[in-house]
Structure 1
Amino acid sequence: MPEGSGGAPGVTMGGVEWFTADGYWCSRLVFQRGLAALYLVAFLGAALQFRPLIGERGMLPVPRYVARVPFRAAPSLFHWRYSDRLFAGCAWAGCAVSAALLAGVDGWLPLGAAMALWLVPWLLYQSVVNVGQTWYSFGWESLLLEVGFLAVFLAGDDVAPPVLVLFLLRWVLFRVEFGAGLIKMRGDACWRSLTCLYYHHETQPMPGPLSWYFHRLPRPLHRVETAANHVTQLAVPFLLFTPQPVATGAACLMAVTQLWLVLSGNFAWLNWLTILLALSAVDFRLLLGDAADPPSPLAAPPVWYEVLVVAVTVLVLALSYRPVRNMLSRRQVMNTSFDALHLVNTYGAFGSVSRVRQEVVIEGTADPVPRQDSVWREYGFKGKPGDPRRRPRQYAPYHLRLDWLMWFAGLSPAYARAWFGPLVERLLEGDRDTLRLLRHCPFPDEPPAYVRARLYRYRFTTWRERRETGAYWERTYVREFLPPTRLDTAGRRGS
């Protein structure tokens, strides 16, 4: 556990101050500002994407969901009332509060008020995630909520960060990394043979602008990358709980590994939030010297605050039982919440790696009756592969939820059963909110008469193919995913 450097009175045990760690004042500052930035990104994505996804006329409407799922199973203020206007208000309010926290407004407030301000985005995002259904079912949502809850108890700028909360942040980081390492070793033989990176950069959900180059690295280097990943996830996390400077070295190594993942793909804010967790374990005095010290003497923490932090620590440790049992189980599952508030969760990534990339390509035609010679025009997505000549884009930490789910649809139609039909229906209607999720609509004036979907195999081009064609992808038709489909006279889908 981190130790305070003196100067911040707190609870003493045997004459040694242990409750606060004023030496981590800079670590807390970096962590809080980074977390506020990620909150801002998350709320911005919710505000801009919710209408076609979970709005009143969305593919998976919130009103329909809350009508069948009780409040205790998915606590959310939208159980009380839902409207698109209310959801938009909550999302933009979350943006405003996050921006205020990013600007450091909490540092101007008394301790209790600062904690209340940090509680607001956590409550608002909790309400969003718990009605977000498939669109919000990923590990980084639970991770943001778990970390956001702990951030409430990190105090304001005038009180040193509590040792127990810093320990709990390391405990989250340990479970994120160690859980991911275990699921890899148990889940897919290619991780054990060090060959998964032969495929990963090409088949990951949403490649980034450098993914083509990562994929084309020499295979021996891919094996070194995989082995280094195992060390970072299975051995290094234990060093987080050792004295400084070892813990700082371990945290920095984790941060560098996560930056490598940032460069090689688009994983929303998962990597950035993991980096922030690592930075919370860094003793910046080792790196910056006196510049990492607080600008003014820190106040003594009030008793009520100490009691509250101890109670939260006991709660988190008690709730950790099921995630730890899962992590150690041979039937380990990843990215699962064991309580409705996402207070303590289990994590993991890429327990299995696809060897082949399959993409669903959606097309439309204006012909009133599809013929063999009909012209089918392709819809373009912002992040997922489509046009083989288009270079993959960088979007993370912003999350393109529809693009991400389209990758799952390519794996199996079962992943898209609930929402793909409604998506096609809205394309046939020319729904403006849905079209805003796309990069390109080939029918700008009026919607198509028919829409179809086809499955293609995508692979990264070779160096030679890239020089000759300028294309990043080569694609081959596999089969029909959805036959030509139209709206019937009642406004419903037909074929």
Structure 2
Amino acid sequence: MAVDGFAAVDFGFAREVLQRGIAALYLVAFLSTLNQFRPLLGERGLLPAPALLEWVAARETRKRMLNPTLFRRIRYTDRRLVILCWCGMAVAAALAAGIPQLGPPWVPMLCFLALWLGYMSVVSIGQTFYSFGWEMLLLEAGFLASFLGSNDQPPPTVIIVLFWWLLFRLEFGAGMIKIRGGQEWRDLTALTFHHETQPMPGPLSRQAHLLPRWFHKGEVVGNHFAQLVVPFFLFAPLVSWVPEPVEGWLPGPVPQIIGAVAAGIVIATQTWLVLTGNFAWLNWATIVIAFSAIGLPGMGAPVRPAETAWPWLIDAIPLYWFVITCAVGILCLVLSWPALRNLFARRQLMNAGFNRWQIGNAYGAFGTVTKERVEIVVEGSADEDGAQWHEYEFKGKPGDVRRLPRQFAPYHLRLDWLMWFLPLGRSLDDWFTAFLVRLLEADAPTLALLRVDPFRGERPRWVRAVSYRYRYATRAERKADGVIWVRTRRRVLLGPFGLK
């Protein structure tokens, strides 16, 4: 059977993947924060977090506008941010190696809760640079992983089921957003554009874009099937709770196999997205969570006899741990009610949190697909009269038309992602103006976020922002000119301007 009452006895391997995989993603998240938070949001960042904290503290009525963060109690400094990141990476690495899981269940619980609270402290003050759906996904997954237990007992069924519920919201929510979104998802043309216009293409994105139109329509059909139909079958193993003699229920391992097949389809579709794009850890987290529905008989934790294990056991789970996990299950179900209503609401919210603790969130992405790729290229000039202009190169977003996009995910390049959003807005954001000022100052931490500084650490006299239309080169253009992209200049959006 997939479950034995309150113990998911066949889901030991699923727990291993969940605990180690989620911990590895926290390691990546803290590493990304260590490398990028200070120039983006630090004491001299583009959107300084200390200024936000001071603004919140200025009036009592504003205090609840900020989600929980350690920096409400401990004054933010860049040094303390670094300490938090290194501690987070150390705990995440230990969990990924499986060390805390060797102890009693409260040990990995405390480790995961530390990661959850530590990273929430960062996200809460991260403003627009941390406003992505996968931030709340990682927080919710980390909270649930806290209660998966340790190696000497089976994982609690209630927590495994909560992971299925998380995956359902993630996939079905994304599917509903698409069906209710742009016409391109309904007429099956969305992926004719997506591989070219997605925020950060990968090394195989161009090849995917050049595939036949019928293939792209098949991608959309497959996506709708994987997100709108398959998620319901994730819950098939619950049938195993029903006694087999009851007429009409599927006997034996069949429900468990159905759940595993559903999880396999999700994993396959997410792997295709990993290969053809750079969506930070969104797809990687979805793959890890999907393993929660894969039960493998004989690979669970050993069930010890009561006299040699814990003095009080319920289906091989200690009584105190049974009480804790049941309480967590009730809490999560209550907090998930707004998300459940949102799934079927006429005006469905995308990537929305309904409480300050980032539990029971609503998910979804790409309700509409951009049809045309517009890039904002930042240029600088060292000449007094601005005669010659040189481009700043970003690490992930398209720039040099001959440069093949690299694979960065699950690492998150926050500046590059926000550069993609700029052309979609009505005006240039405040952080972008601050970014241009840092370039004029030749600020070393800011320049470290870039791939190429054309002035090699020296100050330019002028900077400006120019918009270009980008498209993938055809096979003939690639062969003739050696280019990945073909671009057409549009206009100067901002500047030139310099420092007095």
In the superposition, the TM-score normalised over structure 2's length comes to 0.91
- Say yes or no: does 1:433 pair with 2:445: yes
Distance (whole Å) between structure 1 residues aligned to residue 300 and residue 7 of structure 2: 14
1:71: how far off? 4.4
Matches within 5 A, 1:316-395: 316-370=332-386, 374-395=387-408
Among candidates 281, 284, 287, match of residue 272 of structure 1: 284
Letter in 1 for 2:337: Y
Shift of 1:284: 2.6
State which drifts further: 229-238 or 110-119.
Answer: 110-119
Deviates most, 70-79 or 135-144:
70-79
Say yes or no: does 1:478 pair with 2:471: no
Worse-matched range after superposition: 20-29 or 102-111: 102-111
Of 74, 80, 90, the match for 1:86: 80
1:14-163 matches, within 5 Å, as 17-69=4-56, 70-72=62-64, 73-80=66-73, 81-163=75-157
Q: Compute the displacement of 1:110 (Å).
A: 1.9
Could you tell me which residue of structure 2 aligns to residue 194 of structure 1?
188
Q: Give the counterpart letter for 1:436 in structure 2.
A: A
Residues in 1 aligned to 2:473 and 2:435: alpha-carbon distance in whole angstroms: 30
Q: Secondary structure at the match of 2:459?
A: coil
CA deviation after TM superposition for structure 1 residue 413, in Å: 4.8
Structure 1 residue 108, shift from structure 2 partner: 2.3
CA contact (8 A) 2:442 2:457 kept: no
Tell me the residue number matched to 1:3.
2
**In the TM superposition, what is the alpha-carbon distance from 1:295 to its structure 2 partner?**
6.1
Task: Rate the CA distance shift 1:267–1:237 in 2: closer, same or farther, 3 A.
Answer: same
CA distance in 1, matches of 2:154, 2:11: 8
Q: CA deviation at 1:27?
A: 1.0
Q: Do structure 1's residue 244 and structure 2's residue 256 form an aligned pair? A: yes
One of 391, 396, 403 as aligned partner of 2:409 = 396
Deviations 1:397-443 (A, max 9, x none): 000000000000122253x4120011001000001100010000001
Aligned mate of 1:256, from 247, 260, 268? 268
The alignment partner of 2:111 has SS state of helix
Give structure 2 stretches of 5+ with no counterpart. Answer: 57-61, 237-254, 310-315
CA 174–486 in structure 1, closer or farther in 2 if over 3 Å, else same: same
Within the candidate set 311, 322, 326, 1:306 is matched to 322
Within a 5 Å distance, the mapping from 1:397-416 to structure 2 comes to 397-414=410-427, 416=428
SS in 2 for 1:159: coil
Q: Check conservation: 2:154, 2:302, Cα contact below 8 A.
A: no
Residue 458 of structure 1 aligns with an amino acid whose one-letter code is Y
- The one of 190, 201, 206 equivalent to 1:207 is 201
Superposition deviation, residue 313 in structure 1: 0.9
Structure 1 SS opposite 2:489: strand
Residues 207-264 of structure 1, C-alpha deviations (whole Å, 9 max, x = no match) = 0000000000000011011101101100000001112110000001110000000001
Look up the SS of the partner of 1:459 in the other structure.
strand
Indicate conservation of the 8 Å contact 1:71/1:79, yes or no: no
What SS is found at the alignment partner of 1:368? Answer: coil
Which amino acid letter does the alignment assign opposite residue 256 of structure 2? Q
| C-alpha distance in 2 between matches for 1:60 and 1:120 | 26
* 1:315-369 superposed Cα distances (whole Å, 9 cap, x missing partner): 1111111112222112112111111111111010100000000000000000123
Task: Report sequence identity in percent.
Answer: 52
Checking the alignment, whether the CA contact within 8 Å between 1:188 and 1:351 is kept in structure 2 is yes
Alignment correspondent of 1:492: none
Return the letter of the residue paired with 2:44. R
Paired residue secondary structure (2:436): helix
Measure the CA separation in 1 of the matches of 2:357 and 2:319. 27
**Aligned equivalents of 2:284 and 2:26: distance in 1?**
12
**Root mean square deviation, CA, Å:** 1.3
Aligned partner of residue 209 in structure 1, secondary structure: coil
Q: 1:428·1:448 contact (CA, 8 Å) conserved in 2?
A: yes
Aligned residues: 466
- Counterparts of 1:413 and 1:429, CA distance in 2: 27
- For structure 1, the residue ranges without an aligned partner over 5 or more in a row are 5-16, 489-495
**TM-score, scaled relative to structure 1:** 0.92
How far 1:293 sits from its partner (Å)?
4.2
Distance 1:413 1:420 in 2: 13
| Deviation (angstroms), 1:297 | 4.1
Secondary structure of 1:386's counterpart equals coil
SS of residue in 2 equivalent to 1:447? coil
Which whole-Å CA distance do the structure 2 matches of 1:272 and 1:470 have between them? 32
Partner of 2:252: none
* 2:288 counterpart letter in structure 1: L
Q: Output one character per residue of 1:98-127: Cα deviation in whole Å (capped at 9) or x when no partner.
A: 111111111222222221122111110010
Q: State the SS of the aligned residue for 1:330.
A: coil
User: Which of 465, 476, 480 is residue 468 of structure 1 equivalent to?
Assistant: 480
Q: Which residue of 2 aligns with 1:11?
A: none
Opposite residue 24 of structure 1, the aligned amino acid is F
- Asked whether the 8 Å contact 1:3–1:18 carries over to 2, the reply is no
| Residues 19, 162 of structure 1: 8 Å contact kept | yes
Runs of 4+ deviating beyond 6 Å: none
SS of equivalent to 1:125: helix
Instruction: Check whether the contact 1:3–1:163 (CA below 8 A) recurs between aligned residues.
Output: no
Q: Say if 2:381 and 2:463, in contact at 8 Å, map to a contact too.
A: yes
CA distance in 2, matches of 1:162, 1:213: 44
Q: Aligned AA for 2:140?
A: E
